[in-house]
Structure 1
Amino acid sequence: MVHGEVSAVPTSRMLRGLGALVTLLGLAAPAAPAARADAVDNAFVAAVKLKGIQFASPQAAIVAGHEVCDELDLGKQKSDIASEVMSNSNLDGYRAGYFIGASVAAYCPRYRGS
């Protein structure tokens, strides 16, 4: 390579430098606090807790709520999803149904009334 010419192909030295920079930036960036969850997530977590539905973490509850919507997007019926929830947890029919309803209200209101 001629002096002053820039190579379009990254060298291993360039890649190592980039990796170090990314690592340093990642360490310097503050972690996003749990308090940054939006109002919908907070309301959803509070609603399921109010009915005694426990999850390992608020994030786990939020993910499960979104999974309900994913199942509905695939064409499953709410009653079938509630049955799956009951068989994969210790929830009774009432709480499983409540969880489905809370998930729909929070994350996929397009399925209300269906």
Structure 2
Amino acid sequence: MVSLEKVGGIGRIEPGGEMTTKRVTRVATIAGPVGALLAALLIPAGVAHADQTDQDFTTFLQSHGVSLGSPAMTLKAAHAMCQDLDAGYTEKDEVDQLTGADRMNQPQAQMFVGAATADYCPEHHPASKPKGK
């Protein structure tokens, strides 16, 4: 039985003892540029979409007098709320938490939860509430 080992970090020993570096080199030559191209095409679009969603979310809330301090804190709270909902907490639990520390009144907290679920965790957004802001 011949074991497969790396030789100098490149290639491997095949049964029969011949090292196959051509195949490894060819795969690396093709995979490198293709992977870089895919990353360049896909990642900026996702980041741009996330940035626009974040901007729309914070602008909407600010225009209605709802804030948890800075936009960064508001976004962090929205994402944490979605994690809570994923873990089994209810929208009412989230509203209670937002109003319990006197950070928001009831209508503000409901608006925050509704906007956050619409933008960041639509699987938790009730069908009875409008999707758009």
Normalised by the length of structure 1, the TM-score is 0.63
Runs of 4+ aligned residues of structure 1 deviating over 6 Å after TM superposition are none
1:22 aligns with: none
**1:48-104 CA distances to partner (integer Å, 9 max, x unpaired)?**
101101233211111011111011011011011100110124311111010000110
Report how many residues are paired: 79
Computing the radius of gyration from Cα coordinates, the structure with the larger value is 2
Q: 1:89 & 1:38 partners in 2: Cα distance? A: 29
Normalised by the length of structure 2, the TM-score is 0.55
Matches within 5 A, 1:1-114: 38-113=51-126
Q: 1:54 & 1:98 partners in 2: Cα distance? A: 11
| Residue ranges of structure 1 left out of the alignment (5+ in a row) | 1-35
SS in 1 for 2:97: helix
Two-structure CA RMSD over aligned residues (Å): 1.7
Q: 1:81 & 1:54 partners in 2: Cα distance? A: 15
Identity percentage of aligned residues: 28
| Residue ranges of structure 2 left out of the alignment (5+ in a row) | 1-47, 128-133
